[in-house]
Amino acid sequence: MSASLIEQAVDEYMEKNPEFTPPESSQHPAVLALTTEMNPAIVDKFGGIIEFWWAMFEAAKSWFKPNEDSLEYNYFRTRLFGALGLSVHTDHVEDMNEIWNAFVAWKNYGLH
């Protein structure tokens, strides 16, 4: 369900912002939702950074196979890890750790 929610948010953003130019490397919703230009609007739409990352993680489970060797999967994983690092010494660190740990359980064991 989260995949369709992320995809819908990306589509809505692109409809409201026709000047948005997707990156040449990929037009996958995971990449688009994480672009510098689009990401703040998508995060706001989901109600905050934690809600956004939970939605992205749930979406990723339907978009990708664990440890998939693709640009989009690697970009998602790298950005999630970066968000975890940025959460250190913030009120979001515990929530981001929970998301990261759920991702690792899914990635390594197919759990969650």
> What is the number of other CB atoms lying within 10 angstroms of the CB of residue 72?
19
Residues whose CB is less than 8 angstroms from the CB of residue 25 and which lie 6 or more positions away in sequence, other chains included: 31, 71
If you search the block for the tokens 């339907």, which residue do you land on? 62
Give the residue numbers spanning the domain of 46: 2-18+25-109
Q: What's the predicted TM-score (pTM) here?
A: 0.93
Interior/surface letters 26-38, b for 16+ CB within 10 angstroms, e for the rest: eebbbbbbbbeeb
pLDDT for res 110? 79
Confidence band for 2, pLDDT divided at 50, 70 and 90: low
3-state secondary structure of 17: coil
Structurally, the chain folds into a number of domains equal to 1
* Cα–Cα distance, 65 to 16 (Å, whole number): 31
Helices and strands of the chain, counted as H and E runs: 6, 0
pLDDT value of residue 109: 87
Residue 112's pLDDT is 62
